[in-house]
Structure 1
Amino acid sequence: MLYELLAAVRPGSLMEIKEVIKTVGMQVISNGGVIRGINNWDTTFLPKKVRKHQATHTMGHYFLMRFDCDPSTQKIVRETLGVDPRMLKFSVVKMGNGKLDDISRVSGNCGWFR
């Protein structure tokens, strides 16, 4: 199935953001999935203040990742991101029901942003 992950990482060093993306990507690939694309959206304001790990955040570094995997791998990704202290917010959305005709035309880039 095709999924889209939109995540906000606490702003800081670019290495932290790369490590989070690498962790998610390696989980998808090691469980037989495919990464369709990764878009870096840079640091911007969060819609509202987020209190996480005894700190209040107003800014977050956003990235979007599209990937194909089975539902159990998607669950592993969600569980991993849920316990990662660098993550502020994330959302995983199913974009297709798994039929090749439905997801073959979806690219790795997100056309609705910018």
Structure 2
Amino acid sequence: MYKKINYICVGQGAIRACVVTLILLIIFTGITSIFGDNDSVKSVVYMIITCLSVLYGASYAASKAGKKGWLVGLMVAAIYSVCIYLASIGAGRESVFVMRDVVRFCLALVVGTLSGMLGINI
């Protein structure tokens, strides 16, 4: 029998991922204000922050949903990526979708899918 996904869990997972991103970015900003910044380091740190946030949000949502973890994780990652992209446009970034954004989006989807599977089994 077909079982529906609890979309409230998906929304909560995406919100939690965005909050984790905000907290980690505040910490990173504090560190870079003390030690200075480097563009190549920033890119890697942003990718790590994205992966950690999606990992947490997707595993949380999948553990709450209790079924179809891969799909729940994929949906959390997609919603998270869209929210972060819209927030960056709102913060003054150009709305050009460059290769770096495509890679970050695809990586978020992969991490979200795998984290959703992990969240079911935890």
Same fold, TM exceeding 0.5? no
Higher relative strand content: 1
Higher relative helix content: 2
- Structure showing greater relative contact order (alpha-carbon pairs closer than 8 Å, 6 or more residues apart): 1
- TM-score for the superposition, normalised by structure 1: 0.32
- TM-score for the superposition, normalised by structure 2: 0.31
Rg larger in structure: 2
